Structure 1
Amino acid sequence: MASPLISLLIYSIGHGLLTTLLTLRLAEEQVSTFWIGAVSTAYFTGLMAGTFINSRLILRVGHIRAYSAYASILCSLALLYGMFVAPETWLFLRLLGGFATGGLLVVIESWIMVSSPVRIRGRMMALYMVLFYAAMVIGQMLLKQLDITMLLPFVVAALAASLSVIPLVLSRVDMPHFDKHEKLSVFALMRMTPTAVFSCFVSGLLLSVAYGLLPLYFSLMGFDLSQITDMVAWLILGGMCLQYPVGRLSDRVDRRLVLTALFFATLVISVLFVLLELRDDSWLTALLVASLGGVIFAIYPISLSQACDELQPAQIIAGNQGLLLCYSVGAMAGPLLAPLFINGFGAKGLFIYFVLLASITVVFLFWRRSVRAPVPLEEHVAFSATTPNTPVMAELDPRAEGHSTDAQEEQPDQRLSPTNDRK
């Protein structure tokens, strides 16, 4: 288990650094908010494509060779960003980067899946989440020490992608066998668990903007590089720390009530950002940013748990993957919609966008609670912390026990041997 987790840690440091760097560099070049949002959308478009279609390539060539290819692409792209600073070029590069990142994460997550017994997969998902977010925070701290107008920060991101290969090439892994699961269309999912579908979609609209455009907001508000990276770090730390306690609370009450509270908290925090002048109070700003991260990062996993409560066990994996698709569609749309509010209302338009989304969702959730009875508490499945990264997380989800791919002894003839994977 050490190899994929160490590779994840190394790669995610560069990934976190690069995500903030690209937004700030475009802002430094005085690129329009539309183009900054379009570059973010291109990444999420590529990420969705990479996570949903790269599994065939990985199964054909093996984990290590696939990971090496994706990391090589990402290393090259990081350098190209620094060599050709133009939004039109970055749009294409970011699309390729999202595709390669999706494939790289599928490799890591499927490696974890085939290496971990079902009984510890919940803990492995939590450890994966903590390492992923912690590395993103380290990336922010590293960016503080670099000059974003130079090539050096892009070189650091390239080094992280390149060095992340080392733990994997010194290891070996059997290929996972992906079982066939019950099919579940998005429209069927909408009928079965409309609350989860809508909440996941809005989660994508919120999180993609928080990742891609929140640094732009702070830049427009006059924060310097060190302050901006600190605020992004607080956002991620808040999301990492609050996800599990809020999730455990949702095991004890109607999850729709918890989701309503999360969206209402998003509404209140966003209103405070609109009304208050926070430029000179860094600690209050950090507290609000961490709180914002805590609530919006928790929306997706609690929505997923709500769906698991309402689906049959055989439908959980397909439902999980369908919800990821809903999230991804929202993530692609968010960075295109939010710049319209920034152009119309200035920097604080970003939080007016959050206010609007949160208000609509709160009304929707109150309506859903009025037309459908809650799932009885004794039928709740245990909350499991997760990240909306790839469909492989559905296979790792311990709530889908009995439909997982822990088949190392059951179907050895359907796996590629470690020797073949190393050729």
Structure 2
Amino acid sequence: MAATRLQGVISPLISLVIFILGHGLMSTLLTMRLSAEQVDAQAIGLVSGAYFAGLVLGSFANARLIIRVGHIRAYAAYASLICTLTILHGLIVDPWVWAGLRLLGGFATGGLFVVLESWMLVSSTPANRGKLMSLYMILLYGALAAGQLLLKVVDPMMLVPFALCAMAASLSVIPLALSRVAMPAMIQPQKVGFLELFRLTPAGMWSSMTSGLILGAIYGLLPLFFTDSGYPIERVANMMAVVILGGMCLQYPIGRISDRFDRRLIIGVLAALLSVIALLMAALPAPQPQWLMTGLIFLFGGLAFSIYPLSLSHACDELKPDQVLSANQGLLLSYSLGAMIGPVLAPTAIHLFGPQGLFAYFCLCGVLLTLFLVWRQRVRAPVPLAEHQQFMPVPPNTPMSAELEPRPDVELAEPQGQTS
């Protein structure tokens, strides 16, 4: 039984790494190509925002399809769609067409993450779920960073990098296709309305939305900042990898610190520090010394990527155990709305202030979140430390992430007997 469960966990993790290698390359590749085609920042932001719009639709709308046809069939269908859409990006270079393709691609990617995370859920046990989540996070961000480095060996003006991304999506089907696992039977969590969540945990909801405003612009527009600042493609790849590695390395230590304090205070401190670093990035003349840029970008990524999992942990502290899964859906939706809006808003600052305007935008987001959290600490008492749930780093991908977390008092259903 233990060997079967281990095999069930390994297959989705291998598929995750293969897919994310191409996915990480694709996200930066699109911005680089549009920049080389002299497309304005507003259109680039629209393309990025369309992806997140599709991602949130896929995360919530695809679960029924997956349950109906099975994990493997659903994954194969989504991967095939992503493969086709990726090739179309290389054949038709037009920002409006790409926005539509990214919307569909985001929808399919949301479905892939639902399959992978639910597969890991049913293949794990409550005893090993915490270690599995940590391994999942390391592989996810590690593969995402490695995908950035592939930019060094491809020409964004050719079809080849798009073909590589398509191949990664297609090849990721193989580990799952060669495995069998019982279908997960999800419990029905207590339904908590989206607006009700703003009343129950306003700090959690606004923090997650601000995280989306920042990360959506990082994924979609940070490569544009580097290219417009005169960085060669090799250094752009390095910097994008560094910002992601910063997020991977700093989330857990920051989260464990938050277990000992009011999480609103920690999130506010993160937002304030992020604002300071962003202000430095906006004020320093380009190009900065490599050691300075690398250090600042590493810290910036660590702060930016830590806000969402802290906001989810804070929400879990404030809510009842049977509301946690529904709260994860609400915070993910709040994050996704921010990630849709951020890449569309940030180009306004770029238009006004040049490439450094992107970091002026980040600074403004951090300042507004800091002020909001300071106000919330004045009007609502902190959650007692004895009632804090243990922090776990969670990627803003699907609501399944909440079920992968080993939070106490949250019971999960056993898998059904049928296989996919």
Q: Same fold judged by TM-score > 0.5?
A: yes
Checking the alignment, whether the CA contact within 8 Å between 2:21 and 2:147 is kept in structure 1 is yes
CA distance in 1, matches of 2:318, 2:183: 32
Gap runs ≥5 in structure 2: 1-8
Q: In the alignment, which of 153, 162, 171 is matched to residue 154 of structure 1?
A: 162
Q: Is residue 44 of structure 2 the alignment partner of residue 41 of structure 1?
A: no
* Stretches of 4+ aligned residues off by more than 3 angstroms: none
**Shift, 1:188, TM fit:** 1.3
Residue identity in the other structure for 1:373: A
Cα deviation, 1:248-284, whole Å, max 9, x if unaligned, reads 0000111111001100011000010111124141111
Give identity over the alignment, percent.
53
Q: CA deviation at 1:402?
A: 3.5
Cα distance in 2 for partners of 1:386, 1:13 equals 19
Kept in 1: contact 2:229–2:286 (CA 8 A): no
Q: Hey, what's the Cα distance between the residues in 1 that align with 2:127 and 2:286?
A: 46
- 2:131 pairs with 1:127: no
Query: 2:263 maps to what in 1?
Result: 255
Superposed, 1:214-253 pairs within 5 Å as 214-253=222-261
> 1:397: how far off?
2.2
| 2:13 pairs with 1:14 | no
Cα distance in 2 for partners of 1:199, 1:64 equals 35
Q: Does 1:370 align with 2:378?
A: yes
Q: CA deviation at 1:99?
A: 0.5
**110 and 400 in structure 1: CA distance in 2 versus 1, 3 angstrom threshold:** farther
Provide the secondary structure at the position in 2 that maps to 1:118. coil
Equivalent residue, structure 1, for 2:195: 187
* Structure 1 residue corresponding to 2:340, chosen from 310, 328, 332: 332
Moved more, 233-242 or 393-402: 393-402
| SS of match in other structure, 1:279 | coil
Separation in 1, partners of 2:405, 2:146: 27
Distance 1:78 1:282 in 2: 33
1:367–1:402 distance in 2 versus 1, CA, 3 Å: closer
Aligned residue number for residue 37 of structure 2 = 29
Equivalent position of 1:72 in the other structure? 80
What letter matches 1:123 in structure 2?
K
The question of 1:140 aligning with 2:148 is answered yes
Contact 1:181–1:403, Cα closer than 8 Å, also in 2: no
Aligned-partner SS, 1:157: helix
2:106 aligned with 1:98, yes or no?
yes
- Aligned counterpart, 1:299: 307
1:138-162 deviation per Cα after TM superposition (whole angstroms, max 9, x unaligned): 1111111111111111111011111
Change beyond 3 A, Cα 1:400–1:106: farther
Of 192, 198, 212, 2:206 maps to 198
Question: Following superposition of structure 1 onto structure 2, how do residues 288-367 of structure 1 map, counting pairs within 5 Å?
Answer: 288-367=296-375
In structure 2, the residue matched to 1:283 is 291
**CA shift for structure 1 position 401:** 4.2
Structure 1: 5+ residue runs without aligned partners? none
Give the Cα separation in 1 of the matches to 2:91 and 2:40: 20
Q: Say whether residues 1:111 and 2:105 are aligned partners.
A: no
Pairwise CA RMSD:
1.0
**CA shift digits 1:165-193 (9 cap, x unpaired):** 11010001111111111010122111111
| Corresponding residue SS for 2:315 | helix
AA partner of residue 313 (structure 2): S
